[in-house]
Amino acid sequence: MFYREAGQFKTSYRADQGILTIVQDRFVIGAFAFVAFCVVPFFINDYWANAILIHVLVYVLAALGLNILTGYCGQVSLGTGGFMAVGAYASYKLITAFPEMNFIVAILMSGGITAAVGVVFGLPSLRIKGFYLAVATLAAQFFLVWVFNKFGWFFNYSPTGMIVSPPREVFGFLVTGPQASPEARYLFCLSFVVVFALAAKNIVRGRVGRSWMAIRDMDIAAELIGIRPLEAKLTAFAVSSFYIGVAGALYFNVWLGSAEPTEAFDINQSFFVLFIIIIGGLGSILGSFLGAAFMVLVPITLKTVMVDGFGFAVGAAKHAEVMLLGTLIILFLIVEPHGLARLWQILKEKLRRWPFPY
Amino acid sequence: MAYERKIGDTILSVDQISLAFGGVKALSNISFSVNQHEVFAIIGPNGAGKSSMLNCINGFYHPQEGTITFKGNTRRHVRPSEAAREGIARTFQNIALFKGMTTLDNIMTGRNTKMHKNIFWQALRFGPAEKEEMEHREVVERVIDFLEIEAIRKTPVGTLPYGLQKRVELGRALAAEPDLLLLDEPMAGMNLEEKQDMCRFILDVNDEFGTTIVLIEHDMGVVMDISDRVVVLDYGKKLADGTPDEVRSNQAVIDAYLGVAHDDAEE
Ligand SMILES: Nc1ncnc2c1ncn2[C@@H]1O[C@H](COP(=O)(O)OP(=O)(O)OP(=O)(O)O)[C@@H](O)[C@H]1O
Ligand SMILES: [Mg+2]
């Protein structure tokens, strides 16, 4: 009864095409944004920032990127970890080579470089599809990680092979390095995520997004109505890689602080982000948020319950956690193959009818 | 026909097109031409090569021989996306909609080639990109009104019944404001009422927008009623062309449709 669009008429096409067309939706999202920007920073501490909030935010951004490519354009990719590495290493090279460079500009440029790399690795998509493309992107994953291990230039010949993010400020606040406060790092990531999520939402509901979805749903028909597959697929690779590159740069600079390619950017990263978008909902911006929150929070909750609640040994809890998470994912996909975003839709549908069963 | 239409000059001419798939000769040496503002029908038994002919016209198949001249440009091979940009739109024998998208989005894709704001404007949305989107939305809304599908605007097309999907597909083609509209069996599998609606839409499009239409149809009654001229194909060969009356009285056509064995017909 409280969630209704009845009586909310749209009098222009512009209003009809808004993102949040129902007042109640706007209210919920507005409240969320208020809490995220104005309340959380007062309560945040290092544990919350590192283990949960920044962790989720970085993966939201990566998931937005992969969702653009896989969920909207239908091109399966297993190269996410590799592209995150490109973003991380590009930012590392940029901020160490040009210490004066504005940190935001450096992050955006890293995204740009990743976009270019993504386009190159996207070229096979013009010829191959589905599993074959997935294998090709898997090759990209291993190739990129190998390159960052192999050539000293990328890690400035540091003897450990690690890259370490030097302290950088944004608007006078330190956002990287051990001295950076959790609230500054959190707000920095949050701003990126909000801006890029809005941009993604705008792109997918415009011409470019429709051409991606057309390619996804039926590529031959798309071409027959004048959509150029080359253009559509490569823009999807570019935009997707841009997002993933920015996510990789934030992951390395703001979250980890230091990284080493074999561990930080391995194939598990690719799978992790793929799980996020499958669980959250393919082809859904909201789904990227829900999926990232799910994939980060559920393991933490399971661990807390098992170790603190039932007194499991940490090692045993870790194993049990992986098994439980796997089971949960499988169960979940059986119950709702379209992901959390669809579940949310169904819930809204129910709310609309409540208290009447039909 | 009750109204007077001005049939113009040749808009499309097909010259000695031959197309083979391995040993199968789908089309041999086909020539015909279509005039501006005309409703032109391609008929023939199953497997005659009708769909293949449309596929050659819009660049989906590349004939081994012959040329196609559209709006004065003569060519043999063209990419389908370029044909679309030159003003050829079509619908398919097996519906080819984008199943995961709504009716509105499907029809909006028909305007893709006419939208030019780059991705940065679109990411920002405010301003030029939104203005462009609204302009095109208005055109699309006119198409939606015209086809009387207002109620299913926001429905994913995968869930629509067959007849409506056919209508949405026509809408997507119309949204492109084509000069030449190719319709592959637009009425197949429809009941009488749906067929009448579809006939009305086709004639209205032709009448109001002056769109040249080439259609394939099995229902002889429909073809004879709505088309200005007809070409008859059989086993990839052209049997006849002319006005519906001329074609109807052509002996070769009568034989083909009455199922006279081919050897006899050629004697
Ligand atoms: N892509 C293809 N590959 C191989 N053979 C094809 C292909 N497309 C068409 N053919 C063959 O070309 C011939 C003509 O087919 P086409 O689909 O053009 O016939 P049609 O007149 O549209 O028939 P229908 O009335 O059944 O739609 C058939 O023998 C068909 O098997
Ligand atoms: Mg056919």
Judgement on whether residues B33 and B145 belong to the same structural domain of the protein = no
Are B159 and B102 in contact by the 8 Å Cβ rule? The answer is no
> B17 lies in a domain?
yes
Q: Is the pLDDT of residue B245 over 60?
A: yes
Boundary of a domain, candidates B155, B171, B187: B171
Reported pTM:
0.90
Judgement on whether residues B200 and B147 belong to the same structural domain of the protein = no
Domain at B63, CATH number: 3.40.50.300
Judgement on whether residues B186 and B255 belong to the same structural domain of the protein = yes
Residues of chain A numbered 247-306 and touching chain B (CB < 8 Å): 283
How many domains does chain A divide into? 1
> A13 lies in a domain?
no
Residue of the CA atom closest to atom 29 of ligand 1: B47
Q: Taking CA atoms, what residue in B is nearest to A72?
A: B100
B256 falls in which pLDDT band (50, 70, 90)?
Answer: confident
Backbone region of residue A11 per phi and psi (left: phi > 0; alpha: psi in -120 to 50; beta: other values): alpha
> A302 lies in a domain?
no
Q: What is the mean pLDDT of residues B184-208?
A: 90
Tokens at residue B112, please? 């893709």
pLDDT tens readout for residues A21-60: 677 778 888 898 899 998 888 888 888 888 899 999 999 9
Higher per-residue pLDDT: B259 or B37: B37
Residue A259 Cα, gap to closest chain B Cα (Å): 31
Judgement on whether residues B37 and B71 belong to the same structural domain of the protein = yes
Is the distance from the beta carbon of residue B26 to the nearest atom of ligand 1 less than 6 Å? yes
pLDDT tens readout for residues B72-103: 989 888 889 899 999 999 999 999 999 999 99
Q: Per the CB < 8 Å rule, is B105 touching A225?
A: no
DSSP-derived pairing of the beta strands B180-184 and B237-242: unpaired
Q: Which amino acid is at B41?
A: A
Q: Per the CB < 8 Å rule, is B100 touching A223?
A: no
Which residue segment(s) compose the domain that A120 sits in? 44-265
Q: Does A220 touch chain B (CB under 8 A)?
A: yes
Q: Is the N-terminal amide bond of B45 cis, ω within 30° of 0? A: no
> A326 lies in a domain?
no
Is the distance from the beta carbon of residue B50 to the nearest atom of ligand 1 less than 6 Å? yes
Neighboring chain A residues of B112 at a CB cutoff of 8 Å: 207, 210-211, 214, 225-227
> A3 lies in a domain?
no
Neighboring chain B residues of A13 at a CB cutoff of 8 Å: 134, 137-138, 141
Q: Of the residues B51, B61, B64, B219, which should be mutated to test ligand 1's pocket, given the most ligand atoms within 8 Å of the CB? A: B51
Which residue segment(s) compose the domain that B128 sits in? 102-171
Judgement on whether residues B188 and B78 belong to the same structural domain of the protein = yes
> B93 lies in a domain?
no
Q: Is the pLDDT of residue B220 over 70?
A: yes
How many residues are present in chain B? Answer: 267
Q: What is the mean pLDDT of residues A109-129?
A: 94
> B92 lies in a domain?
no
Judgement on whether residues B70 and B109 belong to the same structural domain of the protein = no
Judgement on whether residues B210 and B228 belong to the same structural domain of the protein = yes
Q: Is the pLDDT of residue A174 over 50?
A: yes
Distance CA A33, CA A23 (A): 15
pLDDT tens readout for residues A283-292: 999 999 999 9
**DSSP structure class, residue B156:** B
Judgement on whether residues B30 and B110 belong to the same structural domain of the protein = no
Q: Of the residues B50, B183, B214, B218, which should be mutated to test ligand 1's pocket, given the most ligand atoms within 8 Å of the CB? A: B50
Are B105 and A217 in contact by the 8 Å Cβ rule? The answer is no
Interface pTM, i.e. ipTM = 0.88
> B31 lies in a domain?
yes
**Which residues on adjacent β-strands are paired with residue B10?**
B35
B110 falls in which pLDDT band (50, 70, 90)?
Answer: very high
> A135 lies in a domain?
yes
> A254 lies in a domain?
yes
Residue B249 Cα, gap to closest chain A Cα (Å): 37
Q: Per the CB < 8 Å rule, is B89 touching A206?
A: no
Percentage of the residues of chain A whose pLDDT score is greater than 90 = 55
> B66 lies in a domain?
yes
Judgement on whether residues B206 and B266 belong to the same structural domain of the protein = yes
A321 falls in which pLDDT band (50, 70, 90)?
Answer: confident
Residue A310's Cβ-side half-sphere holds a number of Cα atoms within 13 Å equal to: 11
How many domains does chain B divide into? 2
Instruction: Kindly report the number of other CB atoms within 10 A of residue B204's CB atom.
Output: 13
DSSP one-letter string for B176-197: T--SEEEEESTTTT--HHHHHH
Q: Is the pLDDT of residue B54 over 90?
A: yes
Are A96 and A168 in contact by the 8 Å Cβ rule? The answer is no
Boundary of a domain, candidates B171, B203, B226: B171
Residue of the CA atom closest to atom 6 of ligand 1: B21
Q: What is the mean pLDDT of residues A2-22?
A: 68
